[in-house]
Amino acid sequence: MPRLSCWFVRAALLYLALGFTLGALMLANKGLPLSPAIWRLLPAHIECLLLGWTVQLIMGIGFWILPRFQGQRGHEAPAWAAFWLLNAGVLLAGLGATLALPGWVIVSGRLAEAAAVAAFAVHAWPRIKPVGV
Ligand code: HEM
């Protein structure tokens, strides 16, 4: 597995653990009300699991298994940019919403996530071709 895929998959697993823990806290809080403040974890739970886990795992495995040409994965810089942008975005948007930080924090997180998707597409697009072309 290439080094970037290791980073993606390890980060994805951390977000999976964190996202499930936050979900479990909210679930427990439904049966045994601990504090209404626990509901503030919902945006972080969603951010961790939908982007931090799912999208990150897909990018990590995609970088690994998409077709290589002459043994190369093409331009790796945009894929590395996708990794840093996605993680910055999840942190900014997740913490911004949970800690009720100013709106621009959440907006910049969302922009970083969108830029991560664009950067990954720039990397992956040339690798997506039919056999023999
Ligand atoms: C990949 C796995 C998961 C994803 C993508 C996910 C995603 C979500 C999303 C999008 C919501 C918001 C739903 C809404 O507002 O209608 C939500 C709510 C919630 N999730 Fe998860 N979740 C996952 C796993 C879990 C797990 C494992 C737990 C518990 C251990 C959990 C506990 C909760 C709770 C308690 C809520 C709040 C439900 C409510 O509004 O009453 N989630 N989750």
Q: What is the pLDDT of residue 132?
A: 76
Sign of CA pseudo-dihedral 39, 92, 19, 62: positive
The answer to whether the CB of 4 falls within 8 A of the CB of 60 is yes
State pTM to two decimals.
0.93
- For atom 23 of ligand 1, the residue with the nearest CA is 49
Provide residues with CB under 6 Å of ligand 1. 20, 23-24, 26-27, 42, 45-46, 49-50, 53
Residue 91 DSSP SS3: helix
- For atom 1 of ligand 1, the residue with the nearest CA is 49
Q: What is the pLDDT of residue 25?
A: 97
Q: What is the pLDDT of residue 113?
A: 98
Q: What is the mean pLDDT of each run of 10 residues along the chain (133 residues)?
A: 98 98 97 94 97 98 95 95 98 96 97 98 95 76
Between CA 5 and CA 63 the distance in angstroms is 6
Ligand 1 geometric centre to CA of 50 (Å): 10
The answer to whether the CB of 120 falls within 8 A of the CB of 67 is no
Q: What is the pLDDT of residue 130?
A: 87
Helix axes 77-98 and 103-124, enclosed angle (nearest 10): 160
Q: Which of 22, 42, 47, 56 to mutate to test the pocket of ligand 1 (most atoms within 8 A of CB)?
A: 42
- Over the range 30-44, which residues count as b (16 or more CB within 10 Å of their CB) and which as e? eeeeeeeebeebebb
Q: What is the pLDDT of residue 87?
A: 98
